[in-house]
Amino acid sequence: SAHDPLHGYLPKGWTWEDYQQKAETDPEGTVLAAKRAMAEHVSAMLAFSKMGIPTFDYGNNIRQMAKEMGVNNAFDFPGFVPAYIRPLFCRGIGPFRWVALSGDPEDIYKTDARVKEIVADDEHLHRWLDMARVRINFQGLPARICWVGLEWRQKLGLAFNEMVRSGEVSAPIVIGRDHLDSGSVASPNRETEAMRDGSDAVSDWPLLNALLNTASGATWVSLHHGGGVGMGFSQHSGMVIVCDGTDEAAARIARVLHNDPA
């Protein structure tokens, strides 16, 4: 990814073997070569945009790297958040991720079915869950992610907790999300690009989000930076809540999964 010019972007004309060797022996030269290639890359994207072809930065900070190399109009085409995603954020719709601590894929398949029951009218969501089951292999503990709105996160979390309580799934379920969400990140080249109030780089939301999730009873809360765009270019907070089938967990889930995206 372009957000890591030393380890994430193969310079133009280099073989993979050259890249691996020079990254070790000449890191500064490798970064410079990568950024030069990024500048050429973005220049081509600008040409596409000028021709009327839909063009956007998919969040890896390549425009920033190109600008640092003298492509002064690198930001003439938008990032994917203002171009496509922000209307979802405005409705509290964002990533909802869960993990089966049992390690049993059947527990995820059962939760998939429950999601489809609860969010009954979202055909796009149903297609995604069906496709993910067939095409996406689990890595480590079985997990799933989808995008759902403010009210549905809370309902799904409580439903998962009931599945643990009843024994329908064989172990607790852990719920988290991505740092890409409606109120958990300040990233002026990605999630908070082109804010209407000019607050692109104002990072109060991640801090407030972390405090709110702590007070709401999240199982753990984290503050970090660099997601998607490289270290120093963003701040964001994360949270996780465990569904262990208890009444206490249900109360925490209801607070966290309402307040987090609210």
**What is the Cα–Cα distance from 251 to 241, expressed in whole angstroms?**
11
**What is the Cα–Cα distance from 135 to 95, expressed in whole angstroms?**
19
Annotated catalytic, 146? yes
| DSSP conformation class of 79 | B
Residue 175 in contact with residue 243, Cβ under 8 Å?
A: yes
Alpha helices in 167-260 (DSSP H): 204-216, 247-259
**What is the Cα–Cα distance from 100 to 173, expressed in whole angstroms?**
5
What dihedral angle (degrees, nearest 10) is formed by the CA atoms of 80, 81, 85, 86? -150
- Catalytic residue of the set 146, 212, 242, 249: 146
Q: How many CB atoms lie within 10 A of CB 91?
A: 12
Q: Which residues are catalytic?
A: 146
